[in-house]
């Protein structure tokens, strides 16, 4: 028993060992000095997990202190993340029809580029700038441009 009196408290004690002082009735994990909560110790972790639901038992059911319960939940989560413990994902049934047979869902139209051999947006296609703009750019960058040579 981890409490005084007939009615157990809602939560177990914070910790069984404070410094060098061990309480009168330590929890099962604090009681055994050779027992370590590690994510690789799957057989120990399975004793604190319900086989039907896969959820860790509450500390009032197991009698472990809150400090060891936090370490236990971290170790269980690490074991599940590393694949040592199985984790079940509940099956969810969908009540709505998400298929393509719904009247609001239609076939995506083909792109205009495939139909007309043009770009989807007009700004994708090359557009020749006006001659006036070309002359202005040549005036600005005349010192940096190479002379145009006529093709042979």
Question: Which pTM was predicted?
Answer: 0.56
Kindly tell me if the per-residue pLDDT of 13 is higher than 80: yes
For the stretch 89-112, pLDDT in tens is: 778 887 776 666 666 777 777 776
Averaged pLDDT, 6-14: 82
- Within-domain flag for 32: yes
Would you give the end-to-end CA distance of the chain in angstroms?
103
- Within-domain flag for 76: yes
- The DSSP element (H or E) to which 67 belongs, if any, is helix 66-82
- Within-domain flag for 136: no
For the stretch 63-99, pLDDT in tens is: 899 999 999 999 999 999 999 998 877 788 877 766 6
- Within-domain flag for 129: no
CATH code: domain of residue 31: 4.10.640.10
**How much is the pLDDT for 83?**
92
- Within-domain flag for 55: yes
- Within-domain flag for 54: yes
* C-alpha–C-alpha distance, residues 45 and 38, integer Å: 8
Share of the chain above pLDDT 70, in %: 88
- Within-domain flag for 67: yes
- Residue 65 contacts residue 13 (beta carbons within 8 Å): yes
Q: How does the average pLDDT of the chain come out, rounded? A: 83
Domain that holds residue 38: 17-82
**How much is the pLDDT for 3?**
65
Local confidence band at 19 (pLDDT 50, 70, 90 cut-offs): confident
- Residue 64 contacts residue 29 (beta carbons within 8 Å): yes
Strand residue runs (E) in 1-133 = 17-18, 21-22
For the stretch 117-132, pLDDT in tens is: 777 677 777 788 899 9
Number of domains comprising the chain: 1
- Within-domain flag for 98: no
């Amino acid at each position: 028993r981890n409490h005084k009196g007939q009615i157990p408290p809602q939560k177990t004690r914070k910790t069984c060992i404070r410094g060098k002082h061990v309480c009168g009735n330590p929890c099962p994990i604090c009681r055994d000095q050779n027992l370590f909560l590690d994510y690789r110790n799957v057989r120990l972790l399975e004793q604190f997990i319900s086989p039907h639901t896969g959820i860790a038992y509450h500390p009032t059911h197991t009698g472990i202190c809150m400090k060891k319960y936090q370490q236990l939940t971290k170790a269980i989560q690490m074991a599940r993340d590393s694949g040592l413990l199985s984790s079940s994902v509940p099956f969810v049934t969908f009540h709505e029809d998400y298929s393509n047979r719904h009247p609001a869902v239609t076939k995506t139209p083909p792109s205009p580029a495939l139909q007309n051999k043009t770009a989807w947006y007009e700004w994708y296609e090359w557009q020749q700038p006006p001659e006036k703009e070309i002359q202005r750019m040549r005036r600005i960058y005349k010192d940096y441009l190479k002379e145009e040579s006529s093709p042979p």
